[in-house]
């Protein structure tokens, strides 16, 4: 069992470190090791936020302060046990993490980075200036340290405790990152819209990442306060926030051991330069400015470039290419669109459009450029809200529902301009599709409970089956972005199928494919239709549309001008007029 081996290895390393620290009797060295543990805790959580979720937080000092001051106030103002205070401090910083994550509901990118920066500064000002509670520069004395058998920890015991915490943090976060949550975080870093279209609850995933980073940072802060038995506002500076960020970026954001490498090196450098604070800051600034330029993946990025291991080639072909069942059989109305309108100023991509989609059919939505086809797909999947009208899917009204909810109901989609998670492997892309069908929760993933592991195995098998279906199983471990365009389209199709859709929306699936590939795609779509998936595709290749669809809907300037069997539609004079224009004489004649 791979997981078991890793656990034993980490336990052995931790034990060896504990043994080694028992040997050296120098308080200064012990202090450095302790600070490494503290910073590693910060960095490990921060890596989840920065490296995996791709959110820049520039205010970790604020969360560090939340933990430190929570522990300080709880143990000095009440008779609380220091152990309980440590746990509560972690909880309180977690709550602060939620507070920082709240703006991420509305703002993104640089705005959010600036909001986190502001949070750090506000906390810094608050602990510095609100002296009645936080003691300002004078600080809070007499914080109760952690105890063992009624005795306060000795320096060596503090280090041991730190090492144990770090090992635990590493194991837990590794579980989390290797689970569906880790994949979901990576996906939202790459493309939030695609991520929610495969059923990832983007906002919730971001909050989880912020809380993870907040809790580890809070524990680190509480440890420092309890070990020093003293905390003041000088601990909480903007430079601390930068240092924590740098630990991750320098070591290698998004790699499992990056934070460890960054922490060990930078803590040592920090200790060596402690006498010259301005040189320290200069170095951090310098690293921030140039490290990313020279090594975008941090030290671990460089190392893995040197030791690029030969990737496992191919998988054991997943057995039969027999069509796998995806959706239920049956017939009847799957989706009912009634009187839907949408306008962007003067442009009206949908005016009072109504149509019905039948279960088990392949429907096509066609129309000249600008007819409002993509907008229709976006309204059906919840990316765009219609101004008016109702959309009922499986008997439920879905207007105003969120993208991931609609996906969970059983509607999958692909995009006109491919939205694959380019850095993730083909297999991971498809496994992400099944995110919403996995039932293992956060804590079950964090602790890697048997249920979570079973789900993971099942998802992997399913993904390989689907890759077989689209004929890509030999490329499963390649990064999706490295595939040729035509194959990327198929990966996206497999990803959409992994969401177990009853209705599959395809936005120009044949765009950019040559005639040979288009014909293959047609066969594939028919095969998919036989698996119990109904299809609505937007397409310009008329041969494809006419050869495989059961029912065609034609839009022109947001108005439905015709629908019916392919042959009927082809003969419809309004359709011909929309595509080819009308002869003035012909108009006069009619």
Partner 1 sequence: MTEALLQAIISGLAVGGAYALVALGFSITFTTTKTLNFSHGEFVSAGAFIGMSALFLVLGKPVSSTTFGDAIPGAGAQLLALVAALGAMGLLGWLLYAIGVRPFAGRPGMAWVMSTLGFGVILQSIGLAIWGPKPVVVPAPVGDAVIRFLGVGVRPQELLTLGVTVAIMLVFDRVMNHTMVGKAMRAVAANGSVASLMGINTNAVMIGAFVVSSALAGLSGFLLAPIAQASLFMGLTVGLKGFSGAMIGGLSNPRGCVIGGFVLGVFESMVNLWQAQWREVAVFALVILVLAFRPTGLFGKKMVEKV
Q: What residues line the site for partner 1 (CB under 8 A)?
A: 54, 56, 58, 102-103, 106-107, 109-111, 113-115, 117-119, 121-122, 125-126, 129-130, 193, 238-239, 242, 245, 249, 277-282, 284-290, 292-293, 296, 344, 374, 378, 383-384, 415-416
347-371 as b/e, with b when 16 or more CB fall inside 10 Å?
ebbbbebebebebbebbbbbbeeeb
Distance in Å, CB of 403 to partner 1, minimum: 10
Distance in Å, CB of 93 to partner 1, minimum: 18
Rounded CA gap, 414 and 438, in Å? 21
Query: 138 or 147, CB closer to partner 1?
Result: 138
> Six-digit token pair at 8?
């034993």
Query: 112 or 432, CB closer to partner 1?
Result: 112
Dihedral pair phi/psi, residue 118, rounded to 5°: -65, -40
Q: Output the CA–CA distances (angstroms, integers) from residue 447 to 12, 86, 417, 429, 506, in the order listed.
A: 19, 21, 38, 24, 38
- Are residues 555 and 376 in contact, defined by beta-carbon separation less than 8 angstroms? yes
Distance in Å, CB of 150 to partner 1, minimum: 39
Q: Output the CA–CA distances (angstroms, integers) from residue 84 to 91, 174, 219, 501, in the order listed.
A: 11, 26, 12, 47
Q: Output the CA–CA distances (angstroms, integers) from residue 63 to 41, 60, 98, in the order listed.
A: 13, 5, 11
Query: 223 or 365, CB closer to partner 1?
Result: 365
Distance in Å, CB of 285 to partner 1, minimum: 3
Rounded CA gap, 523 and 181, in Å? 35
Distance in Å, CB of 138 to partner 1, minimum: 15
H/E stretch holding 503? strand 503-507
Burial class (CB in 10 A: 0-12, 13-18, 19+), 274: exposed
Query: 134 or 158, CB closer to partner 1?
Result: 134
Neighbours of 100 (CB within 10 A): 26
For the chain, the 3-state helix, strand and coil shares in percent, each to the nearest 5, are 60, 10, 25
Query: 148 or 290, CB closer to partner 1?
Result: 290
> Six-digit token pair at 135?
């003691």
- Are residues 324 and 466 in contact, defined by beta-carbon separation less than 8 angstroms? yes
Distance in Å, CB of 57 to partner 1, minimum: 11
Half-sphere exposure of 242 (CA within 13 A, CB side): 14
Distance in Å, CB of 537 to partner 1, minimum: 16
Distance in Å, CB of 137 to partner 1, minimum: 13
Rounded CA gap, 48 and 502, in Å? 34
35: left (phi over 0), alpha (psi -120 to 50) or beta: alpha
Dihedral pair phi/psi, residue 139, rounded to 5°: 80, -175
Query: 197 or 549, CB closer to partner 1?
Result: 197
Distance in Å, CB of 384 to partner 1, minimum: 8
Query: 116 or 429, CB closer to partner 1?
Result: 116
Query: 194 or 561, CB closer to partner 1?
Result: 194
Distance in Å, CB of 39 to partner 1, minimum: 18
Distance in Å, CB of 445 to partner 1, minimum: 26
Complete edge-to-edge strand list for the sheet that includes strand 551-556: 411-413, 503-507, 534-538, 362-366, 551-556, 559-564
Query: 113 or 315, CB closer to partner 1?
Result: 113
Beta strand pairing call for 396-397 and 388-393:
antiparallel
Query: 19 or 296, CB closer to partner 1?
Result: 296
Distance in Å, CB of 244 to partner 1, minimum: 13
Query: 143 or 249, CB closer to partner 1?
Result: 249
- Are residues 50 and 201 in contact, defined by beta-carbon separation less than 8 angstroms? no
Q: Output the CA–CA distances (angstroms, integers) from residue 381 to 14, 193, 513, in the order listed.
A: 49, 11, 25
Query: 422 or 576, CB closer to partner 1?
Result: 422
Query: 129 or 333, CB closer to partner 1?
Result: 129
Q: Is 240 helix (H, G, I), strand (E, B) or coil?
A: helix
Query: 80 or 292, CB closer to partner 1?
Result: 292
Distance in Å, CB of 452 to partner 1, minimum: 30
Distance in Å, CB of 424 to partner 1, minimum: 14
């Amino acid at each position: 069992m791979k997981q078991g081996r890793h656990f034993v290895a980490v336990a052995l390393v931790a034990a060896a470190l504990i043994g080694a620290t028992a040997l050296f009797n120098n308080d200064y060295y012990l202090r450095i090791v302790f600070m490494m543990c503290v910073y590693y805790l910060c960095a490990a959580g921060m890596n989840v936020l920065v490296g995996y979720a791709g959110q820049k937080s520039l205010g970790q000092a604020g969360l560090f302060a939340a933990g430190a001051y929570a522990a300080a106030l709880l143990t000095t103002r009440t008779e609380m046990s220091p152990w309980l205070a440590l746990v509560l401090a972690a909880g309180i910083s977690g709550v602060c993490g939620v507070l920082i994550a709240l703006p991420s509901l509305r703002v993104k990118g640089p705005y959010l980075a600036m909001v986190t920066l502001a949070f750090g500064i506000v906390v810094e000002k608050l602990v510095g200036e609100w002296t009645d509670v936080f003691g300002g520069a004078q600080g809070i004395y007499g914080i109760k340290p952690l105890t063992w058998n009624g005795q306060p920890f000795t320096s060596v015991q503090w280090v041991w405790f730190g090492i144990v915490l770090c090992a635990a943090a590493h194991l837990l976060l590794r579980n989390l990152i290797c689970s569906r949550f880790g994949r979901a975080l990576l996906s939202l870093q790459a493309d939030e819209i695609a991520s929610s279209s495969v059923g990832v609850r983007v906002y919730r995933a971001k909050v989880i990442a912020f809380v993870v980073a907040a809790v580890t940072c809070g524990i680190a802060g509480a440890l420092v306060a309890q070990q020093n038995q003293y905390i003041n506002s000088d601990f909480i500076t903007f430079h601390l926030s930068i240092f924590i960020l740098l630990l991750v970026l320098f070591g290698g954001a998004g790699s499992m051991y990056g934070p460890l490498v960054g922490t060990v090196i930078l803590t040592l450098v920090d200790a060596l330069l402690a006498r010259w604070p301005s040189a320290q800051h200069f170095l951090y600034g310098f690293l921030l400015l140039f490290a990313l330029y020279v090594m975008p993946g941090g030290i671990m990025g460089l190392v893995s470039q040197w030791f690029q291991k030969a990737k496992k080639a191919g998988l054991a072909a997943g057995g039969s290419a027999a069509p796998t069942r995806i959706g239920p059989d049956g017939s009847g109305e799957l989706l009912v669109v009634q009187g839907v309108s949408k306008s962007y100023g003067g442009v009206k991509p949908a005016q009072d459009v109504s149509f019905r989609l039948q279960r088990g059919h392949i429907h096509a939505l066609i129309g000249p450029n600008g007819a409002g086809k993509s907008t229709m797909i976006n309204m059906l999947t919840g990316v765009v809200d219609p101004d008016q009208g109702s959309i009922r899917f499986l008997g439920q009204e879905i207007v105003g529902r969120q993208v991931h909810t609609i996906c969970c109901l059983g509607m999958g989609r692909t995009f006109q301009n491919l939205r694959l998670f380019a850095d993730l492997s083909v297999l991971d892309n498809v496994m992400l599709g099944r995110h919403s069908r996995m039932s293992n929760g956060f804590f079950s993933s964090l602790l890697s409970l048997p249920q979570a592991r079973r789900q993971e195995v099942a998802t992997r098998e399913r993904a390989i089956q689907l890759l077989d279906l689209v004929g890509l199983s030999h490329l499963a471990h390649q990064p999706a972005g490295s595939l040729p365009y035509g194959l990327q389209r198929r990966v996206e199709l497999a990803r959409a199928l992994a969401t177990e859709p009853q209705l599959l929306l395809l936005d120009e699936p044949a765009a950019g494919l040559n005639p040979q590939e288009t014909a293959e795609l047609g066969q594939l779509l028919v095969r998919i239709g036989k698996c119990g998936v109904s299809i609505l595709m937007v397409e310009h290749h008329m041969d494809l549309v006419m050869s495989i669809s059961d029912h065609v809907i034609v839009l022109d300037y947001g108005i439905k001008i015709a629908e019916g069997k392919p042959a009927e539609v082809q003969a419809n004079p309004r359709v011909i007029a929309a595509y080819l224009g009308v002869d003035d004489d012909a108009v006069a004649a009619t």
